[in-house]
Amino acid sequence: MTEVSLKTYGISEDTLLLLETIRTCRSKVALELGIGSGVVTLELSKGSSWVVGCDLDIAALRETQQCCDSKENVELVCCDAASAFRERAFDLIVFNPPYLPGNETSDLATDGGMDGIEVTLKWIQSARQTLRRGGNMIFISSSLANRKELLMKIRNLGIEVIPLNKKKLFFEDLIAYKTIIPSTLSSDRPQTTQES
């Protein structure tokens, strides 16, 4: 049995691409899944009225709490993907999911499943329920993962995916994608007065 590492994911090229992509984003309520070092949550706090950052790793949450300590519009939650949040809570959701392919999960910060897309798909399925009508998800993917399969599976969920930004490295291409979720999906039904 492989021991699973919960080391905090640091600032890397994929983090920098996500930061560059979201720098001009504005939102009322934003969510970052898998906060890692906290720099993306901190950046979101500059253009959002309220930001929630979540992670399974308590150390990552503590590190982010230190870097966002003076920010009154940041809340941190320990949870898996967007499982702790109600429907249609956010108008922007961003994440840099683990995307390295492999048949073992020894590092939760980098191992994305057999094809490198399983964690990304799980996070999208979890997060789409919490996205407000007209909201967007922005996420990072790598050429090391089975990106063709990823895009096909996302589109099979009824979600449109468009590339926003790209960074070419010597060993991989990183792409920032934006999702567009049609308002006709059943998960985007209007809330009744009792649900609000």
> Residue type for 16, please?
L
Sketch out the chain's domains with CATH numbers.
13-188 (3.40.50.150)
Distance CA 123, CA 118 (A): 9
More confident residue, 57 or 3: 57
Q: Which residue, chain included where needed, has tokens 């906290």?
A: 38
Please report which confidence band the pLDDT of residue 189 belongs to, taking 50, 70 and 90 as the band edges: very low
Contact call for residues 8 and 98 (beta carbons, < 8 A) = no
* Under 8 Å between Cβ of 79 and 57: no
The pLDDT, as a whole number, for residue 167 is 96
Position 114 confidence tier, pLDDT thresholds 50, 70, 90: confident
Would you state the pLDDT for residue 11? Answer: 77
Whether 57 shows a pLDDT value over 80: the answer reads yes
Give how far the C-alpha of residue 94 lies from the chain's centroid of Cα atoms, to the nearest Å: 4
Residue pLDDT, tens place only, 126-179: 999 999 988 999 999 999 999 999 999 999 999 999 999 999 999 999 999 999
C-alpha angle 69-75-76 in degrees, rounded to nearest 5: 90
At 49, the amino acid letter reads S
Measure the CA angle with vertex 18, ends 187 and 178; round to 5°: 35
Contact 179, 21 (CB under 8 A): no
CA angle 132, 136, 141 (to 5 degrees): 140
pLDDT, tens only, 66-98 = 888 888 999 999 999 999 999 999 999 999 998
Whether residue 30 contacts residue 138, with contact meaning beta carbons closer than 8 Å, is answered with no
Tell which wins on pLDDT, 136 or 100: 136
Nearby residues of 164 by Cβ (< 8 Å), 6 or more positions away: 21, 138, 176, 177, 178
Rg (CA), the chain: 16
* Structure confidence by residue, pLDDT tens digits, 18-43: 999 999 999 999 999 999 889 999 99
> Of 126, 153, 124, 154, which is closest to residue 139 (Cα–Cα)?
124
CA distance 43 to 187: 29
